[in-house]
């Protein structure tokens, strides 16, 4: 079939065809869907999968496509996922009595990012009950390029393999085949089966043109097309006495292809166990994939994943944890797989408002915001982003400070992949040095966000965690270039050593970027934007120091989150954590602590790449910040670090709220082990009336008047990433270095780690956004595939 896109394509490919050989081109990069494979190319081939039960007519209104807590699936979890090889996901849907397995296998070859295969299998959860499922796999082409389906437009559906060919500037020519497994059966009996006999047991399909940028709404287009036909088919059966046909005979795609189609769907309906495969073959690879490619490939992937996992993230065996070693291994593998399998690729514009400002922020010299004269919200240029996501159902998009934590974990698993993600985040740093806290790129991402949260404001920050991922990377580079005997084997407080053997570290897949030369080149590349980012923080989040001038050793280092409202400081990341009243003279303890860490990490980066003058000045700033944390934020009567504020008489005072906030100088390892304040902090940490619970540290002291009140988001519940920071500070510094509290720190480390790991993870099959400090039960968004997965690093003691 000759079509206009061929001509366009020809022009485009002459203009910018270059072979891509990118190991990370393909992935489950649509993590908002239960299963969606796409390349990390802005506008290209999107694939997706959906299913509904045909046990009744109602189930189609609950077609499963985008992850949704309302679907009430028992679980969906990647049990294995490797960004180079693919993975295995298990989905349990009790309403439709089906357990689905989605397997994804990457097969290298050719010059355009390789091939892949997917297998979708189903079996009844309860074998004694019927399991009637209809599945739809779709492919859509966005941007330049096209897809044709190989069919004579059979009115009654297709038997055998279903074939597509397509092409795009980046992917070049490719083929897609959908192939049935060996023993699928369809519903054959039922009222009026005679009438429908020619269509039973076949694949049904549709193809239609969809406007640019709309493929993400495939579910709506496809179900409309299906329902249109279903209404026509059902019309003659108005008399209930005559019996209504079985839903699986009626709820079928129309077997029509419109000209100019760029969205195609293939539907298969089953009675009981089933299986089918999808093969994507890049023409340049000249390979033909088959079901045995998947049989063998997935088996090999499972074995190599487990072997490598045990090497990279070993579970210590001689530690008295509640779970058995096997159970902990499986759990740890699943949470890591969900983090990595939850990485998405996003592309599109976003909404910013340069002029928005709260009254207490109004005095700011708005140099960063005066660049544009435009008032009110506006759309930015489109941007691309490869990023992990905190939650596939509730917030499947990039969040700035979450990402630093994600990258600690991803980078330890696959350093190269971690750097690809980091690079995309660095690319978001704008000319002023700003990065939006929440990355809501494109219509699909926006469709998940209530209007009042869409707009990002260019003087709002979020905790600077990215450089922590960068220094973790530098530490891996340093460790990898030492021999195993020279390397620091880390602390071991009697739970057995869990250090990775260092031999072969560099040559492992995933670690090529640990080569010191490669690493240095990468760091030199990102240094300039990072520095711009750092300068942006220091310039725009600076606090007023005049009311504190008598106390402060440094006249410059004081900080305040912009963009807080009366009750929330979303920019701090700890949304409803108690704070003082909003005031232009307010100073935030967490932000100044983050700035100390930011300065420290910038110094380490500068030292590594030989920017020695910069390294010295970062060091000086860090020192000034540490002085001011003592001068401005330590409250001697209350024996704790506090926010500071200014009253109506222009006098400064402390705002003290015991909880995660008061731990910051300790939690970010800013205090020296002989700090006179360490003892008081450890007392609060270990006190069951304050932060200590059997399941981890509470966000707010149990003795605080606001504990557990209001939204109760950051007023008590346990957050794993914060516990990870505390454990890291203990493990790497206070339990390791000499000081009066060393033994105490070791003891607390051991107990806290055990409490976190022993919590209820296996009970629900999910990890959760946060945990109830009274029961340990997971709460809020689930599955939470972001920073809660740090339990893996806690288990294997990588901080």
Contacting ligand 6A9 (CB under 6 A), which of 450, 483, 501, 705?
A: 450
Segment contacting ligand 6A9 (CB under 6 A): 215-223, 271-279, 391-399, 722-730? 391-399
In contact, 229 and 255? CB cutoff 8 Å: no
- Binding-site string for ligand 6A9 from residue 91 to residue 130, where x marks contact by CB under 6 A and - marks none: ----------------------------------------
769 is known as an active-site residue = yes
User: Between residues 345 and 399, which has the closer beta carbon with respect to ligand 6A9?
Assistant: 399
Sign of the dihedral through C-alpha 360, 380, 395, 399: negative
Contact region with ligand 6A9 (CB under 6 A), list: 398-406, 484-492, 692-700, 732-740: 398-406
Active-site option among 575, 631, 747, 760:
575
Place of tokens 């009996």: 189
Strand partners, 166: 147, 174
Q: Are 140 and 263 in contact (CB under 8 A)?
A: yes
- 364 or 402: whose CB is closer to ligand 6A9? 402
In the complex, what is the shortest distance from the CB of residue 449 to ligand 6A9, in angstroms, rounded to a whole number? 5
Classify the C-alpha dihedral 698-701-707-712 as positive or negative. Answer: negative
φ, ψ dihedrals at 618, nearest 5°: -60, -40
By CB under 6 A, what part of segment 558-597 binds ligand 6A9?
573, 575
User: What's the min distance (Å) between Cβ of 395 and ligand 6A9?
Assistant: 4
Instruction: Decide: 464 and 591 in contact? Cβ < 8 Å.
Output: no
List the beta bridge partners of residue 134. 52, 269
Helix or strand or coil: residue 47?
strand
Asked if 121 and 249 count as a contact pair (C-beta separation under 8 A), the reply is no
- Judged by CB under 6 A, the residue of 402, 403, 586, 614 near ligand 6A9 is 402
Binding pattern for the stretch 404-443 against ligand 6A9, x by CB under 6 A and - elsewhere = ----------------------------------------
**Residue 401 is a binding residue for ligand 6A9 (CB under 6 A):** yes
- Please tell me the distance from the alpha carbon of residue 438 to that of residue 501, in angstroms, as a whole number: 38
User: Least distance (Å) from ligand 6A9 to the CB of residue 545?
Assistant: 27
Q: What are phi and psi of 45, to 5 degrees?
A: -80, 125
Q: Please, which residue, 399 or 417, has the CB nearer to ligand 6A9?
A: 399
C-beta neighbour count of 420 within 10 angstroms? 18
Q: Please tell me whether residue 454 binds ligand 6A9 under the rule CB under 6 A.
A: no
Whichever of 66 and 655 has its CB closer to ligand 6A9, that residue is 66
Q: Which is nearer to ligand 6A9, 395 or 534 (CB)?
A: 395
Out of 81, 276, 394, 425, which residue is the one contacting ligand 6A9 (CB under 6 A)? 394
- Residues in the chain, overall count: 799
Stretch that binds ligand 6A9, among 176-184, 396-404, 734-742, 757-765 (CB under 6 A): 396-404
Q: Are 122 and 270 in contact (CB under 8 A)?
A: yes
CA distances from 90 to 182, 459, 709 (A): 21, 42, 37
Per-residue contact string for residues 754-793; x = within reach of ligand 6A9 by CB under 6 A: --------------------------------x-------
Angle between helices 415-427 and 466-480 (to 10 degrees): 150
Let me know if 636 is a catalytic residue.
no
The smaller minimum CB distance to ligand 6A9, of residues 32 and 315, is found at 32
Long-range contacts of 161-167 (CB under 8 A, 24+ apart): 162/203, 162/205, 162/266, 164/139, 164/264, 166/45, 166/139, 166/141, 167/6, 167/9
Q: Where are the alpha helices (DSSP H) in 235-347?
A: 247-250, 291-312, 325-341
Strand pairing partners for 321? none
Please identify, using beta-carbon distances, which residue of 240 and 450 lies nearer to ligand 6A9: 450
Interface with ligand 6A9, residue 398, by CB under 6 A? no
Q: How far is the CB of 587 from ligand 6A9 (least distance, A)?
A: 21
Q: How far is the CB of 582 from ligand 6A9 (least distance, A)?
A: 18
How many residues at the interface with ligand 6A9, by CB under 6 A?
A: 12
Q: Which is nearer to ligand 6A9, 144 or 791 (CB)?
A: 791
Task: Give ∠ CA 660-663-665 in degrees, rounded to 5.
Answer: 135
Question: What minimum distance in Å lies between the beta carbon of 504 and ligand 6A9?
Answer: 35
- One of 39, 53, 390, 728 touching ligand 6A9 (CB under 6 A): 390
Name which of 66 and 545 has its Cβ closer to ligand 6A9.
66
The pairing of strands 640-641 and 634-635 is antiparallel
Question: What SS3 class is residue 86?
Answer: strand
Catalytic residue among 170, 586, 769, 797: 769
Q: Torsion angle of alpha carbons 356, 359, 364, 369, nearest 10°?
A: 10
* Contacts with ligand 6A9, 348-387, as mask; x by CB under 6 A: ----------------------------------------
Provide the CA 401 distance to its chain's centre, in angstroms. 11
- Is the dihedral angle over the CA atoms 761, 766, 771, 772 positive or is it negative? negative
The catalytic site residues sit at 575, 769
Residue numbers at the binding site for ligand 6A9 (CB under 6 A) = 390, 394-395, 399, 401-402, 449-450, 453, 573, 575, 786
């Amino acid at each position: 079939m000759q079509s206009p896109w061929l001509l366009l394509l020809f022009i485009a490919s002459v203009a910018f065809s270059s072979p891509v050989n990118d190991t990370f081109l393909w992935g489950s990069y649509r993590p908002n869907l239960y299963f969606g494979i796409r390349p990390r190319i802005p506008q290209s081939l999107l694939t997706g999968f959906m299913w509904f039960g045909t046990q009744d007519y109602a189930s189609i209104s609950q077609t499963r496509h985008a992850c949704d807590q309302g679907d009430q699936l028992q679980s969906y979890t990647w049990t294995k996922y490797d960004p180079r090889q693919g993975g295995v996901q298990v989905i349990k849907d009790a309403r439709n009595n089906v357990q689905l397995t989605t397997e994804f296998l990457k097969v290298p070859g050719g010059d355009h990012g390789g091939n892949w295969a997917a297998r979708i299998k189903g079996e009844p959860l309860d074998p004694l009950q019927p399991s009637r499922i209809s599945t739809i796999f779709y492919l859509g082409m966005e941007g330049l390029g096209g897809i044709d389906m190989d069919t004579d437009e059979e009115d009654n559906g297709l038997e055998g393999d279903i074939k597509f060919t397509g092409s795009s500037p980046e992917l070049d020519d490719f083929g897609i085949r959908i192939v049935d497994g060996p023993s699928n059966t369809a519903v054959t009996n039922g009222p009026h089966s005679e009438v429908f006999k020619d269509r039973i047991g076949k694949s049904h399909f549709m193809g239609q043109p969809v406007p640019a940028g709309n493929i993400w709404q495939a579910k709506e287009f496809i179900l409309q097309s299906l329902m249109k036909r279903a209404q026509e088919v059902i019309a003659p059966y108005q008399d209930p006495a005559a019996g209504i046909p079985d839903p699986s005979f009626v709820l079928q795609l129309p077997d029509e292809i419109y000209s100019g189609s760029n969205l195609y769907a293939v539907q298969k309906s089953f009675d009981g166990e089933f299986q089918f495969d999808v093969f994507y073959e890049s023409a340049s690879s000249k390979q033909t994939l088959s079901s045995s490619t998947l049989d063998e490939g997935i088996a090999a992937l499972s074995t190599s994943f487990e072997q490598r996992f045990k090497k990279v993230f070993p579970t210590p065996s001689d530690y008295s944890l509640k779970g058995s070693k096997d159970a902990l291994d499986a759990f740890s593998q699943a949470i890591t797989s969900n983090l990595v399998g939850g990485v998405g690729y996003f592309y599109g514009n976003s909404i910013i408002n340069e002029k928005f400002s709260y009254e207490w922020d109004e005095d700011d010299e708005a140099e960063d915001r005066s660049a544009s004269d435009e008032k009110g919200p506006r759309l930015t240029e489109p941007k691309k982003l490869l990023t992990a996501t905190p939650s596939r159902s509730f917030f499947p998009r990039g969040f700035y400070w979450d990402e630093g934590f994600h990258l600690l974990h991803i980078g330890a698993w696959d350093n190269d992949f971690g750097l690809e993600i980091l690079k995309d985040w660095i690319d978001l740093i704008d000319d002023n040095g700003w990065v939006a806290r929440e990355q809501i790129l494109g219509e699909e991402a926006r469709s998940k966000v209530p209007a009042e949260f869409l707009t990002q404001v260019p003087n709002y920050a979020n905790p600077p965690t990215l450089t922590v991922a960068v220094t973790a990377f530098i530490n891996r580079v340093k460790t990898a270039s030492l021999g195993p005997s020279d390397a620091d084997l880390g602390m071991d407080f009697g739970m057995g050593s869990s250090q990775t053997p260092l031999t072969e570290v560099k040559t492992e897949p995933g670690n090529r970027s640990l080569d010191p030369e490669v690493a240095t080149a990468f760091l030199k590349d990102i240094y300039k934007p990072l520095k711009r980012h750092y300068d942006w923080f220091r310039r725009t989040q600076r606090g007023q120091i005049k009311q504190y001038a008598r106390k402060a050793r440094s006249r410059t280092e004081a900080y305040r989150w912009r963009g807080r409202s009366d009750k929330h400081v979303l920019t701090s990341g700890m949304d409803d954590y108690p704070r003082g009243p909003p005031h232009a003279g307010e100073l935030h303890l967490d932000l100044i602590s983050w700035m100390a860490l930011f300065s420290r990490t910038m110094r380490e980066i500068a030292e590594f790449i030989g920017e020695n003058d910069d390294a010295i000045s970062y060091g000086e700033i860090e020192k000034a910040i540490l002085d001011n944390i003592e001068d401005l934020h330590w409250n001697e009567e209350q024996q704790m670090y506090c926010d500071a504020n200014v009253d109506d008489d222009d006098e400064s005072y402390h705002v003290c709220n015991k909880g995660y906030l008061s731990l910051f100088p300790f939690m970010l390892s800013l205090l020296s082990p002989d700090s006179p304040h360490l003892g008081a902090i450890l007392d609060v940490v270990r006190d069951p009336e304050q932060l200590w619970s059997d399941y981890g540290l509470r966000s707010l002291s149990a003795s605080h008047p606001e504990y557990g009140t209001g939204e109760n988001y950051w007023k008590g519940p346990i957050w794993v990433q914060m516990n990870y920071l505390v454990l890291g500070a203990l493990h790497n510094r206070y339990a390791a270095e000499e000081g009066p509290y060393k033994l105490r720190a070791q003891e607390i480390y051991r107990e806290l780690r055990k409490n976190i790991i022993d919590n209820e993870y296996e009970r629900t099959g999910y990890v959760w956004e946060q945990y109830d400090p009274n029961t340990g039960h997971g709460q809020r968004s689930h599955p939470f595939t972001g920073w809660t997965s740090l339990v893996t690093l806690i288990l294997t003691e990588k901080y």
